[in-house]
Every structure is written in structure tokens, then in C-alpha cells.
Structure 1
Amino acid sequence: MTELIGRTRARGIETLSLDATDTRNALSRALVAGLTDALKQCGKDPGVRAIVLTHTGNTFCAGADLRDPPPAKALTGLLERIVKLRKPVVARVAGHVRAGGLGLLGACDIAVASDAATFAFTEVRIGVAPAVISLPLLPRVAPRALARYCLTGETFGATEAARIGLITQAAGDLDLDEALAPALDGLRRASPSALARTKELLTATVLEAFVEDAGEMNRLSASLFAQPDAREGMTAFLERRDPPWVL
């Protein structure tokens, strides 16, 4: 599992890189387990001030791996670990993000994306719903915009993602690392204990959603993936054709 997660460190910032380019960094059982374990290790390491979550290849995360999807509970646990981690997690996005990958962005404390990034809630197009990832996203993303993009599956860019609160900043004309530099410098200048306490305050509402709704969302996700529409939608996706409900 560890080979799916690249790890480097520079001045207290641990960079975790999703490195399953053959599957466009889709959330497989192994990738979810590997990232969960890496985050757990970072949380215990006093030498880590903050974590940057990034990727290799042109896709940050393609959503769930339809050939080897993780259990809903495992994905929920990963998102909750990011939110509860007593160290800031910063998403560095230089590629496409789909479906479950958007849940990773919602769980992160800061997210910066380049103009090469695109975003889409594609669940409805394969016959399911964004159940588990709604836990970190509903408290943070503009409700009207979230309704539109979850219902339609439309693709949108980094500027729109920043406008609706899905990410913190679109890098625009800046190099992505240049855009990230002020935030990382600020984290390096902050007291670790103060960072932990501040993050706790900022994520309280998001954690409430996990406490109150995680069980229901796990059950809903499992139920939806077992439905005929989901089986047909996933088959159509893997066969690169439209499902029968497309008009």
C-alpha cells in the first residue's frame, strides 16, 4: 500500500502524493488504506508541522475505483481523519478531480488549484449519489452551487471552485507552488499547539456532520451501489458508453 503514496518532507511540511497513475489516483481499497496510514503516521510525528496532499499525473483523484471500491466506512474514516488531524492539511491540485476526490478537498483545511484543474460531481451519471463526501462538503460549499453541480454532474474550473468554497484559492497566473508559498510559510511560523487548537475550532461544524450523519451516509452509499442503476452506470462507464437513461 505504501508505494501508492509518495512521501517527502521539507522544513516541517510533509508532502503526501497520490501515486496510482494507472488508475488516475482512483480511491481503491489499497489507496484509501495507504493514505489513511500515512496520515496517521504524520499525526504522531512531532517533526511534521502540516501536510500537503497532492498527486502525480494529470489527475488529482478520479473518484472511487469502480473495479476495487473501498467500503463506505473506510472512505468515511479517511475523510474524518483528515478533518480531525491536529495538523493542517493543504491540498495542492494540478489536475482533474472527480466524485470522491472532491470529498478529499472538502476535508482539507486549505486547497489551492491551478488552472489545469477541473472538477465534477459525476455520481449521478453512474447512478449513485455523493453520500459520504457530502459530510465535509455540505458545511463548506455554497448550497445553491452544490445543488447545481451535484444534480447535473457538470464540469467546472478552479475559479468557480474557489467562488463556491470548494477550494480556497485558484492559482490563476501564479505558479502553483508560488501560490501555496504564503500559506506554507504561515504554517511554519505558527505554534503547533495553536494550530491544533485553531483547527479544532474551525472544523467543529464539519465534525458534527460526521458524528450525526456518518452512519446513515455509509448505509445510503452501500445501498445505492447495490441498486440496478448503479450496476448499469458503472458497467457503462467501464465500457465507455452511455447508460440507457441518457436522452
Structure 2
Amino acid sequence: MSELVHLSVADGIGTITLDSQHNRNALSRQLVTELFDALAAAEADEHVTVIVLAAEGKVFCSGADLSEAGSGDMTEGLRAINLLQRTIATSAKPVVARIQGPVRAGGLGIVAATDIAIASSAVTFALTEVRLGLAAYSISLSILPKMAPRAASYTFLSGATFTAAEAAEWGLITTAADDLDAEVGRVVGELSQGAPSGLRETKKLLNADLVARIDALGEEMATSSAALFASDEARAAMTAFFSRPKG
């Protein structure tokens, strides 16, 4: 079985790279498990000051792996998504998302959980759950505290695609950059000047409300979302999705 997540460490930066290009870096069980492992390894490495979350291929993350959605109860997988958001938020080290390609559905929850999110100006985003008879329950745990309420209402209810500039204006990401690597490098350089204890305690301060929200609502969000995934309406919508011509 090929590795879907890679961790490399250089100059105090732990870069975690999603590399599941066959399904557009979807959040499959294998990818999520490996992502947990990479985050734990970066957290434990005393040489790592900042964690960068990146992706290979044209897409940063396409959301849940819908090919797994019909294979049984989704509750455990959704609990894992909740825990993944919590793990990113509670890491003692700043986590920076380097977003080189489109982000859809569940991928937005991962982006929102990071401390700083930098996207290429050409990147687009969309919360497509509503179009599949679903609701963005679990990822709302991290998105809603970050995103402007009116923008959240529009994007959650419409499923419409929006730009990196709009994502920055609405609070989902930190900035849209014409030169992605230069901007990531600049920000990482600034973060690297922080003392570990200062970074750790400041993250606790900044993310206390988010972590409390995940702890309080996570189980309800997972079970509610799993129920929708199992509904006849959602199953029909996902069947239609997979039946669409590709390309």
C-alpha cells in the first residue's frame, strides 16, 4: 500500500504533504490515519518549530472520500475528522496551510483548523455538501468560528464556488498570494522566530474557544452527519455524482 502522506523536516520546518492524487487528496481512512501519524511525529520532533501542511498535485483536498461513504456507518470516520481538527488546533506548534489547488467540502475544515492559511490567488473553494443532500456538520466546528456569518450562510447554503480573495476577505484563510512559496516562506520565517513556550501558550490562548466548541459539539456533529450520509436522498445524490461523465 502506497504512502499517502509524507513528512520531511528541514531548517526547523516540518512539512506534511498530502499525496493521494488518484482521488484528489480526498480524506480517505488511510490518508486521515497517516495524517494523524505525521502530525504526531512533527509534534514530537524537537527540531520542528513550525508545521506546514501542503499537498501534491492539482488539488489541495477534495473533501471526504465519497467512495467510502457507501461502505458502512460513517460515524467513526466523522469522529476522526473532528479529532483531526482538534489535533491541528491543539498542536504546540503553529500549523500553516500551503494551499496550491482547489479545496472542497471537508478540506475546508482542515484549512480552517490551521493557524495560518495561505492560498495561491488562483485557488477556488466550495462547500458542496448541500448539493449532495448533506450538511457540513463536522467541519462547521472549525469553519464557523473563523468565517464571517453572512459569508458562511451564503457558501454553506449555495454550495457556490468562491475565490481565494473572497476566502481571505471572509476570514476562512489568512491571505491569497500571487507567489505562494514566497509568502509561505516569509510567514514561516516570522513564526520561526518565536520561542517554543511562547508559541505553545499563544496557540492555547487563540484556540481555546475553538477547542471547547469541538469538545462540546463534536459527537453531535458526527452522529448528525453520519445520519445524513446514510439517508436515501444523499445516497441517490452520491450515486448520481459517480455516474457523471468524467473529464
Report if TM-score (shorter chain) is over 0.5: yes
Match 2:132 to one of 126, 132, 141: 126
The 8 Å contact of residues 50 and 88 in structure 1, kept in 2 or not, is answered as yes
Aligned position for 1:234: 238
Match 1:155 to one of 155, 161, 178: 161
In the alignment, structure 1 segments of 5+ residues that lack a partner are 242-247
Residues 152-189 of structure 1: CA deviation (Å, up to 9, x unaligned): 00001110000000000000x3x101111221111111
Letter in 2 for 1:204: A
Letter in 1 for 2:175: Q
SS across alignment from 2:240: helix
- Paired with 1:141 and 1:52, the residues of 2 have a C-alpha distance of 22
The 8 Å contact of residues 2 and 34 in structure 1, kept in 2 or not, is answered as no
- Paired with 1:4 and 1:88, the residues of 2 have a C-alpha distance of 22
Aligned position for 1:68: 68
Aligned position for 1:103: 109
Deviation at 1:10, TM superposition (A): 2.0
Letter in 2 for 1:59: V
Runs of 4+ in structure 1 over 6 Å off: none
Aligned position for 2:30: 30
SS across alignment from 2:66: coil
SS across alignment from 1:62: coil
Aligned position for 1:244: none
The 8 Å contact of residues 134 and 228 in structure 2, kept in 1 or not, is answered as yes
Deviation at 1:75, TM superposition (A): 1.1
Number of aligned residues: 239
Aligned position for 1:141: 147
Aligned position for 2:20: 20
Deviation at 1:2, TM superposition (A): 7.3
Residues 195-244 of structure 1: CA deviation (Å, up to 9, x unaligned): 00001100011111111100110111111101111101111111117xxx
- Paired with 1:12 and 1:130, the residues of 2 have a C-alpha distance of 35
Aligned position for 1:6: 6
- Paired with 2:2 and 2:12, the residues of 1 have a C-alpha distance of 20
Match 1:117 to one of 123, 131, 138: 123
- Paired with 2:208 and 2:57, the residues of 1 have a C-alpha distance of 34
In the alignment, structure 2 segments of 5+ residues that lack a partner are none
- Paired with 2:80 and 2:38, the residues of 1 have a C-alpha distance of 14
- Paired with 1:130 and 1:2, the residues of 2 have a C-alpha distance of 29
Deviation at 1:116, TM superposition (A): 2.3
Residues 89-135 of structure 1: CA deviation (Å, up to 9, x unaligned): 10000100000000001100000000221100000011100000000
Give the alignment's Cα RMSD to 1 decimal.
1.2
The 8 Å contact of residues 14 and 48 in structure 1, kept in 2 or not, is answered as yes
TM-score (norm 1): 0.94
Match 2:224 to one of 220, 224, 234: 220
Deviation at 1:59, TM superposition (A): 0.3
SS across alignment from 1:178: helix
- Paired with 2:36 and 2:149, the residues of 1 have a C-alpha distance of 29
1:207 aligns with 2:217: no
Aligned position for 1:180: 184
TM-score (norm 2): 0.94
